[in-house]
Chain A
């Protein structure tokens, strides 16, 4: 039997945590890009485009992330794509994040007074210029706190990718726990590592919220 010291466990967990960080970043960036497209559909003038985007958002917010990941993992091979846990995890979390981010930013766009659009139009800007120069910068700036808050949720959600076989923090901890039979220590350390990643962001979101409330 292999003996694991405390430092062996910690070192292995920290090495695995790199993948959790990388996956969170990839999903956040991907989710922001796709979410921007969904946002365009969601605030478009065309009624059907708005409906499709609402349906997309409702679908991802009304079903468990675990199911979304399973559908990615088992569905994409049917389209002829060779899929690995990493691809399924990134794609699944990207679509998941896009729905939430689009909805957060939409609330920012909705919060802007109509006068902002009118002012843009009276300056002779066309729709895309209005969005790029006037609407979106303000919408992003007033939704910064919930966006950071969602990043925390996304980091925690990466734990689910262990179930479809992606080697991140939780999957590694399961393997270590099976070898050491010290669930308290192993899962306690995993919780601590997640806490260290998430807590500063939570605090940052809170600061942003208070700053916004002070205005």
Chain B
């Protein structure tokens, strides 16, 4: 077998790879912020909401956690237009990623809320804070501190999972890799390089989140 590796195409591909990586990062940044916000609301609703809402959130979490992300993506991208909602691929990808991530982080945030001692709430109420103030100022910051490492892992997992949104033609990193290998006929080399870019992104993202968390939430985050 006389196959020799050829990376000569790489010089002309740096731009495409960088553009794709930027889109991947954009997707995960939006997903992280909206997903975390949703999951805070979800976790709070699951604990303090009316019974019907509690049940609905529970069902939502189970359905999302027990079906593949790819199927959820296809359901949203191909299914919603038949209801008259036509989404741009990138919007569909953001929606699917956010909804998927929220299901996992609702559980994570919920565990954090449960970890805050009941006395904290009682003390804050005794000081005359309104229930909403108690949640936002006392309970939530402590909960986020506890769950931050788990949240970080979930963000990295979601970033890696975002590779499949190339299947609905979102021009992110994997999509650019597909285009490159179709042009260069160097499939293995292309996917190898892009895999290494993903490895760098996931390691960089983790480091960024850890140092950012240490600064914002204070010590105790490893």
| CA of A192 to CA of B15, assembled, Å | 41
Interface core residue of B68, B162, B163, B198 (most chain A CB under 10 Å) = B68
A79 touches B1 (CB 8 A): yes
* B-chain residues with CB within 8 Å of residue A74 when the two chains form the complex: 181, 187-188, 191
Q: How far is the CB of A13 from chain B (nearest CB, A)?
A: 12
Interface core residue of A66, A71, A79, A198 (most chain B CB under 10 Å) = A66
B202 touches A62 (CB 8 A): yes
Which residues 187-218 of B sit at the A interface, judged by CB distance below 8 A?
Answer: 187-188, 191-192, 194-195, 198-199, 202-203
B70, B78, B174: the one contacting A67 at CB < 8 Å is: B174
A67 touches B191 (CB 8 A): yes
A66 in contact with B163 given A74-B191, A191-B75 (CB within 8 Å): yes
A interface with B by C-beta (< 8 Å): 59, 62-68, 70-71, 74-75, 78-80, 152, 156-160, 162-163, 170, 173-174, 177, 182-184, 187-188, 190-191, 194-195, 198-199, 202
B71 touches A64 (CB 8 A): no
Q: How far is the CB of B176 from chain A (nearest CB, A)?
A: 12
Q: How far is the CB of B217 from chain A (nearest CB, A)?
A: 24
Q: Beyond the given A71-B195, A74-B187, A194-B68, could you list 19 further A-B residue pairs with CB under 8 A, ordered by the A residue number?
A: A59-B199, A62-B198, A62-B199, A63-B160, A63-B199, A64-B161, A64-B163, A64-B174, A64-B198, A71-B192, A75-B192, A160-B70, A160-B164, A173-B71, A183-B78, A187-B78, A191-B67, A195-B66, A198-B65
* B-chain residues with CB within 8 Å of residue A174 when the two chains form the complex: 74
Chosen A-B contacts, 21 in total, with CB atoms closer than 8 Å, are A59-B199, A63-B160, A63-B202, A64-B164, A66-B163, A66-B164, A71-B195, A75-B188, A78-B3, A78-B188, A160-B164, A163-B164, A173-B74, A183-B74, A184-B82, A188-B79, A191-B63, A191-B71, A191-B72, A195-B66, A202-B62
- Secondary structure dominating the interface of B: helix
Q: How far is the CB of A1 from chain B (nearest CB, A)?
A: 18
